[in-house]
Amino acid sequence: DVQLQASGGGLVQAGGSLRLSCAASGFTFDDYTIAWFRQDPGKFREGISRINGRDGSVAYRDSVKGRFTISADSAKNTVYLQMNSLKPEDTAVYYCVAIQSLYGGDWSNYFMSNYWGQGTLVTVFS
């Protein structure tokens, strides 16, 4: 079965860095796009970055451009999110999700996916 596991969250001071990992199993990595979403209590879950498992193409939400970098290691079936220059507004539970790449170009499509991992909490303090 398909499983995703997010890890690496923690408490970090504003301006600091954190690296999240998403370990995936149970599917052919090359056929999917993997994305990172985040959600603060009382707010909508929003997509912040994604990477295509076959061609490596990436996309970012404007609020994290220049600060966050997504990457993938297909041999390890793992996707990473390097987060730099963290701000208090980055505080959220971060989730990874997989979707067939045919549908991966629209953030809203990810909510129809059955392949969500449990989130990892990132707390940024000033």
pLDDT of residue 63: 96
Nearest to 35 by CA among 23, 18, 12, 52: 52
**What is the pLDDT at residue 27?**
81
Instruction: Kindly report, residue by residue over 23-81, the tens digit of the pLDDT.
Output: 999 887 888 999 999 999 889 999 999 999 999 999 999 999 999 999 999 889 999 99
How far apart (Å, rounded) are the C-alpha atoms in residues 116 and 26? 13
